[in-house]
Amino acid sequence: MSENQNILLIQTAFIGDVVLTTPMIRALRKCKPGAKITVMVKPEARAFVESLEEIDEVLVIDKKKAHRGLGMLKLIRDIRKRNFRILLSPHQSHRTSIIAWLSGIPTRFGYRSAGFSMAYHHRLKRPMELPEIHRLLRFLKDSICPDVSLEDDIPHLEETETGRHEAQELLKELNIRSPILLGCSSVWATKRWTPHGFAELARDLIKKYKSDVLLIGSPADADVADQIIKVAREFVGEDGLRRIHNVCGKTSLPGLFSLMKRSQFLVSNDSAPVHFGCAARIPVVALFGPTVPSLGYAPIAPRTAVAELEGLYCRPCGTHGSHICPEGHFRCMRELTPAMVEEKILEVIN
């Protein structure tokens, strides 16, 4: 490895963004086969990134614990002693820019729209007209890999041993095989489809595909899933109810990914599970309400589709949704019917 090929890529955004960065990581390895590639991520992304064969080392930034306050100095020392020559930072926060600046890495690439962008020697344009995956590939093209193609754009993750074990154990415990997944999570309330919508869809899917339905999400989403089951009680018989399972928080993220690999298809709010589903190569229908695909986060993979209320005057009402509908009627999600979603399911599974 020549000195100039010691590269640090910083991606400390949400886990969904890390999944969207995987085509960039793959392209970086292809373009710099002899380089040492280190990726810095948050703790929750560590297991996934470690399992990618394109990466030599993973650095973890734990903003909430180890690297809070003065702990940040330890992280900077760790970065400095590795003697990186090139830094790629497609993450736009002030904090990341400050880390980049203090790292002393001699060639630093970041976005000109990033907070404290003067930390970077090369400030690149973020092409907002492209999907996020293509923006990241373009970052690479405009920085150190001019020959990168934007076509190799499907996210990829590897199963981990622990994840595989967790998924197998969960399916064994529930005594089911090949379930259908409903991703009811989102930190933004307006990005969540209605409990009634999910409940009706679950009822129809159980009947049509003779399959169990798992409501997936983080531990924080368990209440939302319970609400869906509560609504389902009104019109799903006892038999049907037994086939709807709230598994929010029952697996780690690698476990969730392995669960997806063993599932028929996924219907999910516009949130991280959509990108996991793409990486797992299963059919995915993404539900878009206050956001729209042109913001850059629609699924990119074969057998994927978006269900949305096209032409609604108030869409999009923000870049990532909000907690309350600014117009007060929440039509973008209330008028998205199970029939519209089922039509999209047929498109992706056939």
- The backbone torsions φ and ψ at residue 198, rounded to the nearest 5 degrees and listed phi first, read -65, -40
Name the segment binding ligand SF4 (CB under 6 A); options: 19-27, 43-51, 128-136, 329-337: 329-337
- When asked if residue 319 is in the footprint of ligand SF4 (CB under 6 A), the reply is no
- When asked if residue 289 is in the footprint of ligand SF4 (CB under 6 A), the reply is yes
Residue placing its CB nearer to ligand SF4 in the complex, 212 or 308:
308
Least Å distance, CB 337 to ligand SF4, is 15
The Cα–Cα gap between 51 and 39 comes to 12
- When asked if residue 290 is in the footprint of ligand SF4 (CB under 6 A), the reply is yes
- When asked if residue 315 is in the footprint of ligand SF4 (CB under 6 A), the reply is yes
Contacts of 314 (CB under 8 A, 6+ apart): 326, 327, 331, 332
- When asked if residue 332 is in the footprint of ligand SF4 (CB under 6 A), the reply is yes
- The backbone torsions φ and ψ at residue 124, rounded to the nearest 5 degrees and listed phi first, read -95, 155
Least Å distance, CB 340 to ligand SF4, is 15
The Cα–Cα gap between 127 and 135 comes to 6
- When asked if residue 188 is in the footprint of ligand SF4 (CB under 6 A), the reply is no
- When asked if residue 190 is in the footprint of ligand SF4 (CB under 6 A), the reply is yes
- When asked if residue 327 is in the footprint of ligand SF4 (CB under 6 A), the reply is yes
Name the segment binding ligand SF4 (CB under 6 A); options: 21-29, 56-64, 262-270, 326-334: 326-334
- When asked if residue 306 is in the footprint of ligand SF4 (CB under 6 A), the reply is no
Name the segment binding ligand SF4 (CB under 6 A); options: 118-126, 232-240, 256-264, 323-331: 323-331
Q: Which of 247, 303, 46 is nearest to 157 (CA)?
A: 46
Residue placing its CB nearer to ligand SF4 in the complex, 116 or 188:
188
Q: Tell me if 182 sits within 8 A of 214, measured CB to CB.
A: yes
Q: Which of 137, 136, 132, 232 is nearest to 182 (CA)?
A: 232
Would you tell me which residues interact with ligand SF4 (CB under 6 A)? 190, 289-290, 314-315, 317, 325-327, 329-332
